[in-house]
Chains A and B, each alone.
Chain A
Amino acid sequence: MSAAPATTRAPVARRGRRTVQGGGNPLVYGIALAVVAVTLTPVLYGVISGFRTNTDLSRNPSGWPSPWVLSNYTGVLTDGRFWQYALNSTMVAVITTAIVVVAGVMAAYPLARYQFRLREPLYMVFVLGLLFPAAVAVIPLFIMITNDLGLGNTWWGVALPQAAFALPTTIVILRPFLMALPTELEEAAMLDGASRIGFFWRILLPLSGPGMVTVGVLAFVGSWNAYLLPLLLLREDGMKTLPLGVADFSTRYAADIAGIFAYTSLAMIPALVFFLAMQRRIVNGLQGAVKG
């Protein structure tokens, strides 16, 4: 673990990797460039077309903006509804994330570190939840939340079922994470007179920060991008989330293509910024889910 061995090993590893894995040659860079072009073209085309006028767009769809106009973007940004949708998206995502992280880490703790008879069957209940497609439950959910619980058109009404469907992944990722914390910590805490609940609060929670951030980020992004459940449960215009707003705008103003591009470009900024900031967490979380 000291620095010295690492420095003596590093050059060997690096040399091996370079020669073995192969470096870049023109063909490799060519393919990489093609991949980047195919990936980014739709996104960049949307962003740039947001600066065009509709007549310019229809005259020459594949051209460069002439003239560049800001009116599409300012039009969206001065539309109160856009900000209302953004606020709704944020609140639904925050509530979803809070429920997922709190309920998830609480459930994962005994499933990871207690010995009791029903432990594995209980865990299996959540694992099986991975197989329940949200589509199966949407119609009963719609009836239950709108009619029985009176939570239709509310932030909580969407956040609760979203959190419920995110819980299996969360627990599957968190359990091995909590299992990996050394047992000695628990023993030491017990010797010092801590109860298991005390251990959970004072030691386990602070230590499992990274795991909770990972599942939290996944839940947040999932909620931010969600469409089906909000579509069913948020029928009032003032309660809609950004994806619903984007879909509505694109059908209501179908002729205003430049406006649609400006709207989608602005709506994707939060997710992209969040992704760039949290990239590592998202990727780790997905890997964790795959390793199961």
Chain B
Amino acid sequence: MTAVTDGARAEQDASAPGASSTAAGRASARPAAPARRSRRAGLRTALEVTFFVTPALVVFGVFVVWPVIKAVQYSLYSWKGYGPLVDFVGLRNFAYVLTNDVFTDALVHNLIIMVVSIVVQLPLGLGIALLLNRRIHGQGLLRTIVFVPYVLSEVIAGVIWRQLLTADYGLVDTVAGSLGIPTPEQGFLGDPRFALGAVMVVLTWKYLGLAVVLFLAGLQGVPDELHEAAQLDGATWWQTQRRITIPLLGPTIRTWAFLSMIGSIQVFDMVWILTKGGPAESTNTMATFLYSWGVDRNLIGIASAASVVLFVVALVFAIAYQRLILRRDLVDAPRSSRRRTRRADREVAA
């Protein structure tokens, strides 16, 4: 076995008492075992690792990696899904997709969903989480209720909301009508001006609970002593939240935003159930585009080009986010682990 110099290994060695942190020190510290025995042990390790990792690698390789590679391949051909793959068209499918208004609109819809999700759910979720973190009656029940929409399948939530948003006879139109609020003639989902907004409302309803639950979990990690100290200094509840709690929740918020972002780029189920991308293509996302072109119209090449674009967009956002925003958390990490150990010490001392 050769020396491994990656972070995780270095960390482990550093935490072992008396381990030196340099590779040279490590090598000399290792007891000089007979070379033959260590080679046999190495072989044995390799066999064991192979045995344990193979099932996951095979499943992952065959059903995730291989299809993604095939998608890239299909995207270079004009193909209807049957017969041999012969009609090579180079990047023409990409040119087609990227100049197709339906697709570029779909991409814009994905970006709108992404931004609106974060801008709406972050303050709402944070507000509800701070509220639930106060000592109130029925806290556990509230927490369960808030999480219910997240656990329902998108199909069930979508079918219910489609009924609620039906023109004239749906609950939403009825209530709006009785309050004197005008509603679009085709219903909110049937009017291109409102459909995407209506989809956003349903998505917010469905996913707000996840934000709340994650933020609540993050809040439990904020030590009470900080609040006490702030209170002794005369801070109000709101000042404490704004100056202490919310900043300490930073890592949780940033990771939640990341999940929300990646989810927004992939939205399919809810849109497909609510509107199928309509009316007048006003709610398409990249995923509904590639489904309707690839499956309904059998244009595999074009749909695959769309899926490659989707993948690249997701990847670019993920990498940019990781670089620009999450890196701070990685830098912060040692400090937070020190905080954890200190708390553990305190518990032992108490």
Q: Which of A35, A102, A132 makes the CB contact (< 8 A) with B68?
A: A132
Give chain A's interface residue range (CB within 8 Å of chain B): 35 or more
B 71-84 to A, binary, CB cutoff 8 A, 1 in contact else 0:
10010000001000
Main secondary structure of the interface of B (DSSP, over half): helix
CB pair B214 A40 closer than 8 Å: no
Q: Check B70 for interface membership: any CB of A closer than 8 A.
A: yes
Chain B residues, CB < 8 A from A91 = none
> With the chains together, A13 CA to B347 CA distance in Å?
13
> With the chains together, A27 CA to B136 CA distance in Å?
12
Q: B232-273: which have CB < 8 Å to A?
A: 237, 240, 252, 255-256, 259, 262, 265-266, 268-269, 272-273
Q: Check B29 for interface membership: any CB of A closer than 8 A.
A: no
Chain B residues, CB < 8 A from A227 = 153-155, 268-269, 272-273
CB pair B148 A39 closer than 8 Å: yes
Q: Which of A24, A46, A62 makes the CB contact (< 8 A) with B136?
A: A24
Main secondary structure of the interface of A (DSSP, over half): helix
Chain A residues, CB < 8 A from B142 = 32, 35-36
Chain B residues, CB < 8 A from A232 = 295
CB pair A20 B156 closer than 8 Å: no
> With the chains together, A255 CA to B28 CA distance in Å?
79
Q: Which of B45, B153, B308 makes the CB contact (< 8 A) with A271?
A: B153
Chain B residues, CB < 8 A from A134 = 266
CB pair B55 A107 closer than 8 Å: yes
Chain B residues, CB < 8 A from A161 = 63-64, 67
With CB as the reference atom, state the residue of chain A lying closest to B157.
A42
CB pair A160 B59 closer than 8 Å: yes
Starting from the known contacts A268-B156, A275-B147, 10 additional A-B residue pairs (CB-CB under 8 Å) come to: A17-B135, A36-B146, A107-B56, A115-B4, A132-B64, A134-B266, A136-B67, A137-B71, A163-B63, A246-B153
- Chain B residues in contact with chain A, CB under 8 A? 1-2, 4, 6-9, 45-46, 48-49, 51-53, 55-57, 59-60, 62-64, 66-68, 70-71, 74, 81, 128, 131-138, 142, 144-149, 151-157, 159-164, 166, 169-171, 174-175, 178, 205, 209-210, 213-214, 217, 224-225, 227-228, 230-231, 237, 240, 252, 255-256, 259, 262, 265-266, 268-269, 272-273, 286-287, 290-291, 294-295, 300, 303-304, 307-308, 310-311, 314-315, 318, 350
- Chain A residues in contact with chain B, CB under 8 A? 5, 9, 13, 16-24, 28-29, 31-32, 35-36, 38-40, 42-43, 45-46, 49, 57-58, 61-62, 99, 102-104, 106-107, 109-111, 114-117, 119-120, 122, 125-126, 129, 131-144, 160-161, 163-165, 167-168, 171, 196-197, 200, 221, 224-228, 232, 242-244, 246-247, 250, 257, 260-261, 264, 267-268, 271-272, 275-276, 279, 282-283, 286-287, 289-292
